[in-house]
Amino acid sequence: MTRPPLYPQVIAPRAPHWRGWWLALLVLLSVQAAALFALWPEGQPQVELWLWSAVLPLSWVLVLALRILVWQIAQFQTDVYRRARDGDLQRWWRRRGLGLPVQQVLLLGPAGDEQAQYRGLMAATPVPKPSLIPGATQPALRCRLSLSNLTERGPALARHLARLTLALPELSARWPRLCGVAWAGDTGSESAFTQQLAKAGVRLPDTRVPLADLADLDALIEGFYPRCQEAGDWFLCAGVVSLERAEDPELPGEAGFLWVVDRQGRQVLHRAEYLLSETHESPAQLCAQVQCYAGLDGPPASCLALDATSQLTFAQGGWCAAEHQLSMHWGLLGNLAPFIGMSLALLQAKVAAQPCGWLSQDAEKRLAIGVVVPHGNH
């Protein structure tokens, strides 16, 4: 978890102990009066007696004034430090609260390429049946594009995703305003995606952003606003995966996604976080921080999980995905799993007009959590 910055603790300056000061004045006056009356020579003018009597009170006033001055200076410095610290923390939370405004989502998976199947948390989508294709060592959840060959499935998925992208009517006139591409997957699949678009006359910009994990998503969020400053500018995020094998009893899966990101996007994909076991942070702490990113007072209205482990772990933070645990629909997706979870949450937030959380783990078994909020303050 990305923690807020830590600041040294400031010790508030102590105010003068007025009772002690007044008591000290009384003691000084008493001692001074006793000493003067006992030691004052007879015949000395009384005026000098009163002048000597004012020495200790004036000294007391001077010392007290210095004590108050030191206290006021320390209090001023403390207030300045606290204001600077609070302002820095507010800027940190505002920056962490930035999200990616997504306008359009495409999904490709074992359920097919019909987008209606992926809306509503896939509640009405039948669980796909595993298939064993030539060359495979175990059954897998495969996209129904082609089940005849195990090799080159990633590039085939990328080409099909490109054809789905070209079929989006709202993009036909927007390609010249494309500011960059973020790709999740290997270079062979990215090349196949690019070449398929090039065949249709679409030339992608040179700006490419890797999208392998949540750190890359953070970098994409940070870089989107400087890159896409005009209303018509947009960013394309896409990726595919095809796993050949998985540990029993899990099934390898295949999937692809595409986001059209622009400033008019009505679903805001907020920053996500990993649960880091080495820092001994609790799932409840992580859930609370992700809620703060999105400005939520509690867990999101809907939540989905791409695997059973993340579902059970983050239930400790109040994020319940028991009704929408979708591992049987997707299988193992490696590092693409969090992005498929984000895509499903984007679709659900659009349909329900309510926040939707997503839970997943990547190829390194890192548990990830995030949330999508519709009509966000981007």
- Residue 145 belongs to a domain with what CATH number? 3.40.47.10
Single residue among 95, 130, 158 that ends a domain in this structure: 95
Q: Are residues 198 and 272 in the same domain?
A: yes
Q: Are residues 79 and 155 in the same domain?
A: no
Residue 2 covered by a domain: no
Rounded to the nearest 10°, the torsion over CA 110, 112, 117, 119 is 80
From CA 61, how far away is CA 266, in angstroms rounded? 66
Residue 265 covered by a domain: yes
Instruction: Please answer whether residues 373 and 99 qualify as being in contact, where contact means their C-beta atoms are separated by less than 8 angstroms.
Output: yes
Q: Are residues 265 and 119 in the same domain?
A: yes
Domain count, the chain: 2
Q: Are residues 109 and 227 in the same domain?
A: yes
From CA 336, how far away is CA 341, in angstroms rounded? 9
CA neighbor of 356 nearest in space, from 371, 339, 338: 371
Instruction: Please answer whether residues 97 and 291 qualify as being in contact, where contact means their C-beta atoms are separated by less than 8 angstroms.
Output: no
Domain membership of residue 40 as a residue range: 18-95
Q: What is the pLDDT of residue 5?
A: 85
Q: What is the pLDDT of residue 378?
A: 41
Per the listing, tokens 């699949």 go with 189
Name the stretches of the chain with pLDDT < 50: 377-378
Q: Are residues 260 and 283 in the same domain?
A: yes
Q: Are residues 125 and 59 in the same domain?
A: no
Q: Are residues 41 and 121 in the same domain?
A: no
Q: Are residues 89 and 116 in the same domain?
A: no
Q: Are residues 188 and 228 in the same domain?
A: yes
Residue 250 covered by a domain: yes
Per the listing, tokens 């984000």 go with 342
Q: Are residues 129 and 263 in the same domain?
A: yes
Sequence-distant (6+) residues with CB within 8 A of 123 are 324
The two most distant CA atoms of the chain are separated, in Å, by 126
